[in-house]
Chains A and B, each alone.
Chain A
Amino acid sequence: MSEKVLLVDDEKDFLEAMSERMRARDMEVTTASSAKEALEKIEQETFDAIVLDFQMPEMDGMEALKSIKAKRPESQIILLTGYATIEKGVEAMKVGASDFLEKPADLELLSKKIKQAKAEKMLIVEKQQEKKVIDIIKKYGI
């Protein structure tokens, strides 16, 4: 089954080229050119992974990351940045990023990280469903 990815970057030329390459690798890609647009898209559907530019106009990657996590805590977010410093990486992980990659990114490495993110998300969703079932069993004393 293909990975469903939301790619967020304010550089439209980057979005076009990267999404075409990802689709050629059987990924189902949706693009957003701003954090605001990305937040609207995650309201409408769910994604296996969100690849997010760290610095964007109006709302930067860190703020966007917090907002996405608040709306969809199970989201797996991979941040893309011009300069991946340890401090930035630690800060992003604390806020809930799954991974952190430097631009220009190696697509094969990014694809691997997207697959890992999907597996991680499936685990989280399974656990959430398990908990729901346990809660129902407890509630009705089955």
Chain B
Amino acid sequence: MSEKKHSPDSTGIQFFGRVSASISHEIKNVLAIMNENAGLLEDFVMMAGKGVPLSNERLDGLAMALHKQIQRADGIVIKMNQFAHSADRPMENVDLYDAICLVTDICSRMVDLKGVNVNTIQPASPVMVNTHRFYVQNMLWSYIEGIMTVLNPEDTLQIETDKIKNGAEVIFSFEAPRKVGTLEIEYPESAPLLISYLDAEHIDESASGTIRIRLPEKIC
């Protein structure tokens, strides 16, 4: 029973649910702004009916504000679509930097609520592994979420990738090593499960502000 509860499938569903909920909140915020801009337009029309002249400048400003929110919503939906398709194939060649960028984008609201800055560093050349894209993304988020438990608002978490012999490394560096000595990083339950599922290795150098995840070139 407990094995079933902690399978990657169940953590994956939880991850998918959390991301979907966060994204739907983001879309609601966009809709709220569009709603107010549409309301302003109605107000202008009503005032024009009472003889107040319509200002071209204000109308132009409103159109721009609406375009801005439409582009924002489009960006959110494009990322959500990419994320949804990441579960399509059990195994594929994954560019780790792309995976990191997608996770930090789709989870940006959850990171923003914590007030932490996440900085992703693009490698000089693509760092590829043959793995399960969705679970790599799930693992990346588990680590970001875990490390954020020892970070304060305004702290920075840096994520980079590197090629190593027979695989690749994801390196999380953070500016709060002083706290790690007294505060344990609280990783979600999913983190060790995903490390095991992805045949990965967790190297804890948290005392110096670094956590390394080593991924094999190809999952067995």
Contacts and interface: CB of A to CB of B under 8 A. Distances in A.
| A interacts with B | yes
Given A21-B43, A24-B43, A58-B153, A14 B29 contact: yes
Contacts of A20: 40
B29 A17 contact: no
A57 interface: yes
B219 interface: no
A17 B113 contact: no
B74 to A, nearest CB: 16
B18 interface: no
B153 A17 contact: no
Q: Which 5 residue pairs are nearest across A and B when measured between Cβ atoms?
A: A104-B35, A17-B36, A82-B28, A103-B32, A82-B25
Main secondary structure of the interface of A (DSSP, over half): loop
B93 to A, nearest CB: 36
A26 interface: no
A13 interface: yes
Main secondary structure of the interface of B (DSSP, over half): helix
A82 B40 contact: no
A107 B41 CA distance: 13
How many of chain B's residues touch chain A, expressed as a range?
20 to 34
Contacts of A11: 29, 32-33
Nearest to B27: A82
Interface of B: 24-25, 28-29, 31-37, 39-40, 43, 65, 68-69, 112-115, 153
A42 interface: no
Given A55-B113, A57-B153, A58-B153, A17 B28 contact: no
Contacts of B69: 13
A21 B39 CA distance: 8
A64 to B, nearest CB: 13
Nearest to A108: B39
Given A21-B39, A82-B24, A103-B28, A14 B33 contact: yes
